Structure 1
């Protein structure tokens, strides 16, 4: 498992003097901040429902705990290594200036070691607690996020978030593999849901922080395209996301279907309103869609878990 793409100095001066101003975190809190706990929360919200659906019921509590712990460590590893690689970007973006490496709360070398050790530990936890396939998938996600998204795509193409977002889709596949020992079509559908959801989720945030990304030299779509082009793509991906959620219907009952349709309708209405406001030159707030997208994804996956736990006959 790993993180959804997010901006994170190549801190050339280890042991540089502490910045003044602002209260310093404790050492443990600084290391925890490197892992981006709020990002991990959203990833784990998708893991548990995937395990419920794979089991078509309630999976072993021990397996759930092990998978969540291993998944959190995996995501924390990817996020920490992202912070190390992107600390120069963090230093010039208002949204990320308080991160530990920017404020010299953690030496860059220590953060690098911490990230690598977390990744290694996550592999062992998932291997011995779940199975080898789950461990390999989680490790592959870390490597993809760090070496493909962070080091290659992010600073070179406006499609960075589209392809880099694949790393953030892995928790559902890891959760499924932890239960079944293999990857089957419902896991791939859930992967597609998160994959298609990531662009509208992140582009709406990037619209808000467009100047930040421009100042950092990161070609996020809102930096290189007009607001109208961005909102149009957000709308297209939003429709694709909702459509992909319906592909799970054959593996679920009417409970999931009802939640997916209702939640999808609300999501599309807000995406359409954003595009309409941009197209007509009216004031708009992309953060409404950003915050709603978090709730939308969580609700869809909670519906997956509830549907599987209730155990009604599937529609397919």
Structure 2
């Protein structure tokens, strides 16, 4: 049985409890982060902690712990649960006032913080990375502040199920004719050697893996364009891929039933995956 962290205590998962009045449960009034673990070490922890602080600030939500304490909790969970490869999920909500009310609770109501591990042996050796994944396109119907990593994930979940029903692995969301992102990842295409991905704004999540991958790409003298791209551009691209904390760099080989490029993982995506994993392992904490 896993040990999880709830409001300052390490407890067996079967004994973990959160109030029925918690605003994360009632209003999706919370934020989250997922940090990967490779070789027992945390990947991009600083980036995730910094984005967490921003999400909390944007929602006027106070942090229950500081960065150093958060790091200590992550490391303790990795050790207690003997995680070699896997992920740590972190969620902070506005807390549990005495009753349900749309208005924010009084300032003295403490936030709720929960962390738990997911054991994923061989996380970096996913078979999907060798063959690529298939995606479909769907309308982006999420709320407007996608740059805040909130727990409002119903529509992305619906998108995953739409993809599954269509025999695909994921969905890319489209708004005003341009791709925003995948259901739980940032989206990219490659054309004539140039990596193209949506520019930062409120329309997409400011991915931690995205930032690292683009930095590594530029350091490797690869050309990068941060701009919106259309479905037509995606279908006519030489290759495509996604990035996220749990998939790293994952090639995309089909869109809406149409092959992208050769229909196999392309050289840019494969090289970026190699670079990202190599450099991230070096910098892991």
Which structure has more RCO (C-alpha within 8 Å, separation ≥ 6)?
1
TM-score by length of structure 1 reads 0.23
Structure richer in helix, relative to its length: 1
